[in-house]
A and B are shown apart, each in its own frame.
Chain A
């Protein structure tokens, strides 16, 4: 039972355009959400996060939106750059549980075309 879903395995975007990566979750106990970026042969690196008390968080070119009623979050990258080409994982955790387990989606491979 996949609690965190990324339904698009891959996405191609032209340099300078907006990249939108989507993530859905099923567990209503999740209250903290993160996006990680992963390059080949490296470990995932943290990109941006959002708490369930917010609906938007912005950090430079990266913005994460959270729609709690739809159990949906999205990552916007504007403008997209070739260096953004990587696999992006969304993750969720139920902070209230105290275990801080991160449950990850299956990832979306983003390719930014120059």
Chain B
């Protein structure tokens, strides 16, 4: 019972490099989210998706792009990484029931040097 799986778990990038973080869920959830967690800032929403083929901006979308080509996957891309993007990234998903929670992955710790 995997739930929400994030790949990779850790990554170190040089400034200017690009990378893609993969989130996969096996719960057939419609809604998926990408958050970043920074000290003293809590969890901030980067982008989200309300279904396959849809994406929308969250609170802090600048410097990131996303794609939801398959229902079970939600990709977060950094085209040109900056030190300010050093953070822990969490993916989450939820179903369509009104009063329900989101399920989170274990996180990806990204360091940009």
In the complex, the answer to whether A100 meets B104 with C-beta atoms within 8 Å is: no
Name the A residues within 8 Å of B33 (CB-CB): 101-102
Interface size on B, residues (CB 8 A): 27
B106 at interface, CB cutoff 8 A: yes
* Contact present for B102 and A104 (CB under 8 Å): no
Best-surrounded residue of B50, B90, B101, B104 (most CB of chain A within 10 A): B101
Residue of A nearest to B49 (CB): A99
> Interface on B for A, CB 8 Å cutoff?
4, 31, 33, 35, 40-45, 48, 50, 56, 58-59, 90, 92, 94, 98-99, 101-107
* Interface residues, chain A, with chain B CB atoms under 8 Å away: 4, 6, 9, 32, 34, 36, 41-46, 49, 51, 89, 91, 95, 98-107
* 7 closest cross-chain pairs (CB), A and B: A43-B104, A106-B42, A104-B43, A46-B101, A44-B104, A43-B106, A104-B42
